[in-house]
Amino acid sequence: MVVGERRIDQEDGVAYTWEEFETFYKKKYKAKALAAYWEECEIKGKKGKKAKAEKEEKEEKKPAPKVRAKAKAKPEFKKKEPVAAGNFKVCVCGGAGGIGQPLSLLMAMDPNVKELCIFDLSVAMVPPTGVAADLGHLERKNTVKGYSMDIGQKPVDHLEECLTGCHLVLVPAGMPRKPGQSRDDLFKINADIAKGIVEACAKFCPGAILGMVVNPVNSIVPAMAELYKKKGLDPLKIIGISTLDVVRANKFVGAETGRNPNFINVPVIGGHAGKTILPLFSQDKAGASIDKEKIADLDVKVQDAGTEVVNAKNGKGSATLSMAYAGARLGKSVLAGLQGKRRTECAYVASTVTDLPYFASKVVFGETGIVKVLPVGEMNEYETKRFEEVKEQLKGEIQTGLDYAEVNSLCD
Ligand SMILES: NC(=O)c1ccc[n+]([C@@H]2O[C@H](COP(=O)([O-])OP(=O)(O)OC[C@H]3O[C@@H](n4cnc5c(N)ncnc54)[C@H](O)[C@@H]3O)[C@@H](O)[C@H]2O)c1
Ligand SMILES: O=C(O)C[C@H](O)C(=O)O
């Protein structure tokens, strides 16, 4: 295999390295069959005469039909009919909050959204029905409805209409940090809030994708995914939204290199708190062009970006607008995937790409939600060292979530 070469998987039209390919297919196919399939895939960026000549040469060298049938073995995905464009139902839980309102606005603008539900507490800063009435006047072909619940009540007793039929539920419901607090300090209160919502989703929209914004993502996602598992549901439906780390890494690399951040794509792996946030600058062209001596500071800048906003807001909340932007980017990718258009984003999910059971890496969204969790890819010396640090911290934060799931359950 040529180092750095990417080939387009005929199944989803996305370009992968051999390492990514092998990790995804190794349990399904024998090494020989997989290598043969790889050889058949088009090399990314190689088009025109040269590619044609190579293809023709390959055709000539084809083995006898019997052998070829085996070598040509293709992956079998569970085929699910994609949802027609513009037909999605989305709910934003905590939709009247700091993130919830702009996130609802951005989702209401997505032409894929047919019905948008705004759920929040009746004590929220604005009644959710008010947010819905406001968004209901946009020039969009969708309906927006608000649902509220009194504090102390259970979502499962109130959200049947709101959640039934949902394809995507975004969850920014929960307390944000104040200066001096860590994300971990929010676990107890926010895990209980998340559990109430997840419980209602398990009952009314068990097939929906749940995008968890609420902190601490590193512990809340394992907790909720394990509760889903306990109930016989798919833990990969629970997705930790770490997109803001990617957005920040792209922005900072753009500022450093003078390039347009819109065309920068730095994968950020690990988790979403402090040292667990690991931007892989070496995997982006602009990022890789930055002087080695500047990388450690840039890495810390991405890790500390949330705290920078918390401190700048001086006790009046954390990142809301950039988070809404990032959450909507992820949400739109989920819907595009369900519609049959593959999208790749970083997300924190149940994973086997490292020895930890939850990890953020690139994932591919398709007709069923996450269809691939991609490996972390090549890392340079600095990133490899940081990778060990990431895993050490993340392990304990995952355990907090696993412990929560052990002593809690979702009701029927
Ligand atoms: N993943 C990330 O990158 C990221 C980024 C920024 C913020 N966050 C987190 O997102 C969460 C929300 O932040 P915010 O700034 O929007 O806070 P906020 O206080 O402005 O809004 C939270 C909303 O949740 C609602 N809520 C509370 N309990 C609820 C329940 N049981 N059911 C429904 N709604 C409920 C509140 O009424 C409020 O409207 C925080 O935990 C914050 O740390 C995550
Ligand atoms: O930093 C926070 O508390 C909010 C969020 O996780 C962020 O990264 O902005």
**Which pLDDT belongs to residue 76?**
42
Mutate which of 91, 93, 99 for ligand 1 pocket (most atoms within 8 A of beta carbon):
99
pLDDT of 72: 35
CATH number, domain 243-398: 3.90.110.10
Ligand 1: centre distance to CA 373 (Å): 27
Residue 34 confidence (pLDDT): 74
251, 284 in Cβ contact below 8 A?
no
Rg (CA), the chain: 22
Q: What is the pLDDT of residue 122?
A: 98
Beta strands in 94-235 (DSSP E): 113-121, 143-149, 168-171, 209-212
Residue 131: nearest ligand to its CA? Answer: 1
- Is any atom of ligand 2 closer than 6 Å to the C-beta of 212? no
pLDDT of residue 66: 38
DSSP secondary structure letter of residue 283: G
Question: How far, in Å, from the CA of 110 to the mean position of ligand 1?
Answer: 22
The domain locations on the chain are: 6-71, 88-240, 243-398
Taking the mean position of all CA atoms in its chain, how far away is CA 214? 13
| Beta-strand runs (E) in 208-319 | 209-212, 238-240, 268-270, 277-279
Angstrom distance (rounded) from CA 331 to CA 241: 9
Q: Which residues contact 102 (CB under 8 A, 6 or more apart)?
A: 320, 321, 324, 325
Query: 148 vs 98, 104, 145, 385, 412, CA distance in Å?
Result: 16, 15, 10, 47, 22
Closest ligand 1 atom to the C-alpha of 318? Answer: 15
Ligand 1, residues at Cβ distance < 6 Å: 93-94, 96-100, 119-121, 124, 172-177, 186, 190, 193, 196, 213-215, 217, 241, 244, 272, 317-320, 323
Nearest CA to ligand 2 atom 2: 306
Q: pLDDT truncated to tens, each residue of the chain (412 aa)?
A: 776 788 777 666 667 777 777 776 666 666 777 777 777 777 877 655 555 555 555 544 544 433 333 333 344 444 678 998 899 999 999 999 999 999 999 999 999 999 999 999 999 999 999 999 999 999 999 999 999 999 999 999 999 999 999 999 999 999 999 999 999 999 999 999 999 999 999 999 999 999 999 999 999 999 999 999 999 999 999 999 999 999 999 999 999 999 999 999 999 999 999 999 999 999 999 999 999 999 999 999 999 999 999 999 999 999 999 999 999 999 999 999 999 999 999 999 999 999 999 999 999 999 999 999 999 999 999 999 999 999 999 999 999 999 999 999 999 8
Contact of 179 with 304, CB cutoff 8 Å: no
pLDDT at 42: 76
3-class DSSP assignment, residue 154: coil
The residue whose CA has the least distance to atom 37 of ligand 1 is 124
Atom of ligand 1 nearest to the CA of 123: 37
Whether 183 is in the pocket of ligand 2, judged by its Cβ within 6 Å, is yes
Q: Ligand 1 atom 9: the closest Cα is on which residue?
A: 214
Token couple for 273? 């708190």
Task: Catalogue the active-site residues.
Answer: 272
d(CA 88, CA 100): 18
Which atom of ligand 1 lies nearest, measured to the CA of 125?
39
What is the interface pTM, i.e. ipTM, of the complex? Answer: 0.99
268 touches ligand 2 (CB under 6 Å): no
Tokens of 248: 């920040």
CA distance 107 to 247: 18
**For the domain 88-240, what is the CATH code?**
3.40.50.720
- Kindly report the protein residue whose alpha carbon is nearest to atom 1 of ligand 2: 306
From CA 341, how far away is CA 364, in angstroms rounded? Answer: 10
CA dist., res. 380 & res. 166, Å (int): 42
Q: What whole-number distance in Å separates Cα of residue 277 and Cα of residue 245? A: 7
